[in-house]
DNA sequence: ATGTCTTATATAATAAGA
């Protein structure tokens, strides 16, 4: 199963990119974040013509997540206890694998109230996994975590540690989440640093490759030994009018 | 501090979120 995650930063604007990319990359499952539309506005027809079912949890203006799949989607659950009114999580079962698309809060700055929301969200996400069971469960949680796991995942770790995305507090929240029994799929197969999934529009970060690896595919203990490949596809970030994020993929033996 | 992009309101600029 080839599983991908992509924060598209508005599906209305990025539908063309998504359809082009689905043809090129041929993922079986795609977790989307920041679709920024209500569920009823989701382009079910275009996605269906591309060969994918869709489970969607939208919201007006902000946030919004979805799971696309070539394989049948079962047991869809929209949302969880930690969202506080924002559409940030959808889960489903596909070929016996529990798949979660998550859009974790940005946090704005360590002094912001939104930073405390991010903390609560992470604690609730861990509690949610505990509620699902033990990490022997075959599970992949994919999305924009808005935290880079390691210093090698950040172009300027010293500066980033003072802001959102690589702050020491955030690393502790992420560590607590993944202590449930999650593994960063890229790091199971590749220890190379300097690989990013997001580059800031404002600083022209992509041209300078000044980015952060804040999007990940995490797999449970139950899937750890089945990860055959994991990579970041930087190509769509170079297209005209791109999302600020690029797709991240993992190949899981079934 | 700045840079850019997206959405909403509203029909031109601004504000908010990222």
Task: Specify the pTM.
Answer: 0.97
C-alpha separations of A197 from A37, A102, A142, A185, A194 in Å: 23, 15, 13, 14, 10
Residue A14: the pLDDT is 96
Residue A233: the pLDDT is 97
**By percentage, how much of chain A surpasses pLDDT 90?**
100
Closest nucleotide (C1' vs CA) to A146 is B18
Residues of A with catalytic function: 103, 144
CB A242 within 8 A of CB A6: no
Q: What is the pLDDT of residues A137-182, one digit of tens each?
A: 999 999 999 999 999 999 999 999 999 999 999 999 999 999 999 9
Q: Dihedral sign for Cα A81, A198, A169, A115, please.
A: negative
Provide the terminal-to-terminal Cα distance of chain A, rounded to the nearest Å: 6
Query: At residue A45, what are phi and psi to the nearest 5 degrees?
Result: -65, -50
Closest nucleotide (C1' vs CA) to A12 is B6
- From the list A188, A211, A207, the residue with the least C-alpha distance to A198 is A211
Closest nucleotide (C1' vs CA) to A10 is B6
- Other Cβ atoms closer than 10 A to A219: 27
Residue A185: the pLDDT is 98
Provide the pLDDT confidence category of residue A43 given band limits of 50, 70 and 90: very high
Q: Gap from A235 CA to B18 C1', in Å?
A: 22
CATH code for A2-252? 3.60.10.10
Residue A47: the pLDDT is 97
Provide the pLDDT confidence category of residue A107 given band limits of 50, 70 and 90: very high
Provide the pLDDT confidence category of residue A81 given band limits of 50, 70 and 90: very high
Residue found under tokens 């003072």: A162
Q: What is the pLDDT of residues A180-212, one digit of tens each?
A: 999 999 999 999 999 999 999 999 999 999 999
In whole angstroms, what is the distance from residue A160 CA to residue A42 CA? 35
Provide the pLDDT confidence category of residue A221 given band limits of 50, 70 and 90: very high
Residue A28: the pLDDT is 98
Q: What is the mean pLDDT of chain A?
A: 96
Provide the pLDDT confidence category of residue A235 given band limits of 50, 70 and 90: very high
Q: Which residues fall inside 7 Å of strand B, measured at CB?
A: A 9-10, 12-13, 36, 60-62, 105-106, 108, 114, 201-204, 241
Residue A18: the pLDDT is 97
In whole angstroms, what is the distance from residue A22 CA to residue A47 CA? 10
Tell me which nucleotides of strand B come within 7 A of a protein CB: 2-8, 17-18
C-alpha separations of A217 from A29, A45, A49, A239 in Å: 12, 27, 26, 23
C-alpha separations of A88 from A82, A84, A172, A208 in Å: 9, 10, 21, 30
Query: At residue A70, what are phi and psi to the nearest 5 degrees?
Result: -75, -25
Question: Edge-to-edge strands of the sheet including A65-69?
Answer: A53-57, A65-69, A29-33, A2-7, A248-252, A227-232
Residue A168: the pLDDT is 96
Q: What is the mean pLDDT of residues A231-244?
A: 95
In whole angstroms, what is the distance from residue A163 CA to residue A157 CA? 10
Q: Gap from A62 CA to B6 C1', in Å?
A: 9
Tokens of A115: 């930073």
Beta strands, E only, chain A: 2-7, 29-33, 53-57, 65-69, 73-78, 89-94, 97-103, 139-144, 182-184, 198-199, 211-212, 215-220, 227-232, 248-252
Q: Gap from A142 CA to B13 C1', in Å?
A: 38
Residue A150: the pLDDT is 97
């Amino acid at each position: 199963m080839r599983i991908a995650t992509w924060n598209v930063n508005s599906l209305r604007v990025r539908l063309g990119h998504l359809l082009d990319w689905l043809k090129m990359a041929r993922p079986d499952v795609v977790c989307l974040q920041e679709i920024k539309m209500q569920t009823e506005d989701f382009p079910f027809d275009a996605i269906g013509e591309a060969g994918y079912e869709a489970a969607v949890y939208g919201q007006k203006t902000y946030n919004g997540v979805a799971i696309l799949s070539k394989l049948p989607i079962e047991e869809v659950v929209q949302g969880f206890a930690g969202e506080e009114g924002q559409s940030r999580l959808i889960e489903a079962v596909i070929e016996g694998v529990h798949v979660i698309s998550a859009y974790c809060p940005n946090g704005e700055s360590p002094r912001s109230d939104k930073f405390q929301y991010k903390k609560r969200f992470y604690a609730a996400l861990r509690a949610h996994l505990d509620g699902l069971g033990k990490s022997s469960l075959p599970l992949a949680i994919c999305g924009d975590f808005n935290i880079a796991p390691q210093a090698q995942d950040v172009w300027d770790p010293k500066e980033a540690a003072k802001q959102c995305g690589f702050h020491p507090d955030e690393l502790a929240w992420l560590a607590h989440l993944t202590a449930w029994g999650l593994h960063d799929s890229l790091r199971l197969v590749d220890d190379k640093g300097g690989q990013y999934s997001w580059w800031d529009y404002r600083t022209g970060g992509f041209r300078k490759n000044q980015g952060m690896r804040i999007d990940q595919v995490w797999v449970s203990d139950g899937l750890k030994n089945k990860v055959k490949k994991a990579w970041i596809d930087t190509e769509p970030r170079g297209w005209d009018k791109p999302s600020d994020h690029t797709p991240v993929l993992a190949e899981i033996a079934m």
